Each structure stands twice: as structure tokens, then as C-alpha cells.
Structure 1
């Protein structure tokens, strides 16, 4: 839905400090997690890695090719994260790694108790809108583009973990819980976006997503969306943002920009036409929203398409 956000880069090890050129590992151990920073400075393939706990990995530099679950193979790039269950073997290729272009990745191994505590807190205090649903890490949605919220939380976690500060474990635990919540919200949003048509009869937010996509060229109000859910406007707004980590207003904006991007790939469609086609009738406002969501203007988006063609 959004562009992916890259986390801040960590300093690379000096060559003389590397113990190995392939997945050189630096470890920072806290009470409920272990932060591993891996660097690879040499092209290599079929490097195997296993953790005893569930791991959140995030790419900082370079490119990996990941092989997971026996059947999943994909490029792994900066601005992305991958969730790997405990005892699952990762097989990793480094097709482009060298001294001038190393890869760098973090792997955050999480003890099960902090994950269970966070899920229990959410399910007890902030249950999902649909009674049959519950908060959980869903491994069917294991490869994620970082949202701004995930990237900024990872940045704070890296800063706390790698600095010599007092009360480090307490600060890390608070940040870990926030990160887990952000991950679950992002997964919930992505799962609905990927398969909303399958759940319109059982999930009211899936029904809302279907309506937004079908009426993206029209005015869409919170009154209308809350009515579709048979909820008051304040309750709808609160529940939607709690479950997906984004307000319904911002969700509609992101869907409009996503639809506009598809139209802009057609060189026969003008920027004005794309703007009007997704329900934004003020061109300067369209430029403002596009820049806010994508980080670039519609003109720059088109130039990048031509450059990459």
C-alpha cells in the first residue's frame, strides 16, 4: 500500500575487524531478545542460518536471495523485513556482495514470552472487531515492505541496543512490544488487502476495502464507511486505526495514490486525468498527497519509469 521505508544504516566493520567475509556476526544481547548484525563482503551462495527463537530480519544494505520453507525463493532488499519462525532454516545467496558493495542485515531473535505477553495484552485489552479473529503473528505474511512506523521503531531499537545506556533492557522491552504491534497491524492490513474479496461476508473491514476500491473515483466519507460497518463514526475510526495502524482517511488516500500510480504507467494518460480518475479534483492537492505518500512528485515518478524502462 505504501512505499517501503529503509531503516538507518549501521556503520560497517573495518576489514581488519572482520572474522569472516561471509555473514560476519556482531551480537547484542538483552533480557528478552538478541540483536544480530550480519555483514557479507564476498559473493557466496547457500549459506545456512537457523535460530532457536522467532526472528525478525531487516535488510539494511545490498541484496540477498532468500530460500525459505523449502519452496519460497525471493530477492531480499533494503526497506524490507522477513519474519522467520523458530528452528526454520534460512538458505541465503549473496549474488552481488563484494568489498565495495557489502550486504548488511539485522536479525532480531525474540524470546517467546515477550511475544506471548504482547499478544495477550492486545487480545485482552484491545480485541479485534470481529470476535472470531485475534491478534497474532501470521506466518503466511512473512515478507513485508517496511512502513514508516516499522522502520522508525526498528531504528529506535537499533539505537538503544547498540548504545551503552542505563535501563537498556526496560527501554528495549517497551520498543519490542511497539514493534510487534506495528508488525501485527501491518500484517492485518496486508492480509485484508491481498484477499479482501474472500472475507467480505465475515469481516466488515474487508467489505469496506472492497467498497473503497470499487468507488475510488468518487467522494468517500467516513460517514459512509462507518455506516457500511454498522458502527458509529468514532468507533469505526478508532477500531480501523487500531487494527491496521492507519486511519481510514489515510487508507483512502493511499488507495487513491496507488490507483493513480497504475494509471500514470500509461503515457497516454495525463497527470490531471489520473488525478481526476481517482477522485482528487484539485491537481495541486494531488501533487501534495502523491509526494507525501511516495516521497516523489508524479512527474518524478514518471521520469523514474522512463529511466527504468
Structure 2
């Protein structure tokens, strides 16, 4: 049974985002949350010396002044920051981007693979080879097709002299298992990974977020009250949102939410379709980057939208990350 719809807010499904390939390339920038990220304002945890070491190695990567990997005969193609949630890897990646003086791009793994799918591999190589540095946040190793695509892309760009900085997406339950995802990375990036500087970043999630915590559903009246104190209000029925996302290429999700200041999602229910679930993960990633607060109503909280079968499957990392981010967005005001 459908709930009463929210009134007095813009409808997200009414937006028709459109982007040219040039605009897609131009939007490869750090999220607003990391606009001010610098090496100087990263705060290493004294209990985990690897964090301070990661800062130093990241700075060396930018300057190229120290370490055998920076020799003139064998320039390093990249640095790989490997660790769990909330240890500041993206802060360090954004710091590398800000400190680098050449032409540079910053995006998530999904943004790059989506870009290649949208504009074609050769066009992507041509456009991305114009950059001196490519920053890749949350390098994903759980989809063989995407991993092979990114491996091939990095090889092509490396031949053209492009350098890379990347982070991993290791979930909390994998901490303590050797070098996190480092060995997987070196294996999957078929030869090129061996030439990366692999940097483990140990530590606890400084946000102390629980990937298994529940967000709370509101009544329609509570949603109306919450929207009443927000600006740039948008809303959608959950089935309508899923339908909308199915019609859009993921490269357009960022443009879709460009004007959204707060988002109310009604009629949330648990998903059974994994394709729809993965689209929602990509949408949540873009929402999180822009730090857009969310409130929901429905039969399950938004943090319970992924079934237990999904959480135990091959895309577990993606779903755990999305749950963590949903929990954070549902607490924002």
C-alpha cells in the first residue's frame, strides 16, 4: 500500500540530467568534503605509526625526491593506499591531488569504469592521457570485468607517462588479514601493480560508524517537519527512484543530484534485484560525496535495504560501504 506522498518538495524523478563527454571529464574532482584536505591537516593516530608513514610516502610521491621507485630510469607509476574504513585514505588521496602541480583528475573507481563504458575505451584513453596524475578512490577488486577493464586502462595510460594514486576499499571484517587487499591488487593489476608503492594504513574508523547500525524510518508527518527546516528539498518514492536510476548511466548520477540540498525517500523496502541494488550503491556514493542528508519512510530502514544474501555475496564490500554511508547521511542535518 502506497504511503501519502510528501508535498512541498521538488521531485527528483523530474530531473533529466545530460552531460557531454567533456563535462564528464571536467567533473573528475575531489568531492566537496575534501576540498580543504591537505597533508598538513591530516591527523595521524599515534597508536598507528603506519598513518604517519603514509603521509610521508604520499608527500614523497608528489615530490618524487626520495625512494628507489623514484629513480630516473624507472619512475614509479603509482602509490596505493591500502586500509580499512575511516583511516583517512581519501583525505590523503585528495591531499596528493591538491599538492600535485600538473594536470590531474580525481574520481572513484566506479566513476572511471562508468566513464569508459559511456565514452568508449579508446576515447577514455585519449582524454585521460592528457592528465599527468589520475587519482582513483576505492579501487574495487570484487568485479572481475571492471578490474580487468581498469587494469587495461592503467597499462595504456602508464605507457603514456601518466602516474596514479589509488586507495583500497577493504571492509572492517577484513582488517588484520595480512596486508589488507594489497596482494589482490598486485595480482589483478597484472604486472603494473608490482610497480606501485603499496602503503598499508592501519587504524580504527575515526568516525566509529557501525556498518550494521540501523537508520530510522520516519512517518510522513515527521518527514514533512524535517523538510520544513531544510533548503533545496527533493523527494522521491523508492520505486520511482529505482526506475529513474535504471534509465540513467551512472556517470550522470552526480549531475542528477547537483541541486539537491536534502532528500526524502518514501516507501523504502528490501531489494531482491541485485542490479537495482548496485545502482543504488552508486547513487549512495554520489550522495555521500556531496554530503546530502537523507530521511526515509517505508517497511524497512534504508540501512536494511540489502538482503542478507547480498551481504554474504560477491559484492559484500560495496554493500557494507553503502550501509555505512547511508547511516551517516541519515544522521546529517
- Is the shorter-chain TM-score for this pair beyond 0.5, marking a shared fold? no
TM-score by length of 2: 0.27
Task: Point out the structure with the larger strand share.
Answer: 1
Q: Which has the larger radius of gyration?
A: 1
TM-score by length of 1: 0.29
